[in-house]
Structure 1
């Protein structure tokens, strides 16, 4: 029964983040690109302040998979690298922490492009 509640919390957390994004798209003049930036920066700021870890504890994958989770991962990577390497870690920590996810996104995006032969929209 515990696994059900874990899934329910992830669905609720991810759903709320998506709902906020949809409201921003529908009710404000913000473009999707600006909303993307707002989500990533929000994840970095909330992660840096130590607030987003509570959202992750509650929502699990519902908090780490969306764009705010990517920002949170960047903030955690920078924090760890600064502790280990000093100020230089502020420049390298975020990318080091996110390298696996970035590499997977590039690889699978390329693989899908090979399989489905994308075409221009025009």
Structure 2
């Protein structure tokens, strides 16, 4: 049942993203920022954690999950370190994902020929 719940939550998030691409003039970069910001805001108001508990990886893997991780990292760092945690918590919580994205992006660039679409 967990797989179905993850598929449903992740699928709905992807459908929303696809609708934003198809029906609006938003660029992919703006949609990315909107998703991350939505994850932070929904976490701040307490709505994203129930979604994560229901959908598991379907909620934590998409970009909204990155915002969720940022918000939780900041919350935890502020609790431990005070005001300084506002600046360090998000980076500490997401450092592994950021490092993996850079490493695998570099690896793909070595294997394939990167360049402009034109």
TM-score bin, normalised by smaller chain: over 0.9
Aligned position for 2:100: 104
Q: Which runs of 5+ in 1 are unaligned?
A: none
Say whether residues 1:89 and 2:66 are aligned partners: no
Aligned position for 2:48: 52
Range with greater deviation from structure 2 (28-37 or 7-16): 28-37
- 1:9-43 deviation per Cα after TM superposition (whole angstroms, max 9, x unaligned): 11100100011111111112222211111110000
Q: Which runs of 5+ in 2 are unaligned?
A: none
Q: How many residue pairs were aligned? A: 118
Q: Give me the TM-score of the superposition, normalised by structure 2.
A: 0.94
Aligned position for 1:66: 62
RMSD: 1.1
Q: Give me the TM-score of the superposition, normalised by structure 1.
A: 0.91
Return the match for 1:30 from 26, 34, 42.
26
What is the alpha-carbon distance in structure 2 between the residues aligned to residue 120 and residue 36 of structure 1? 20
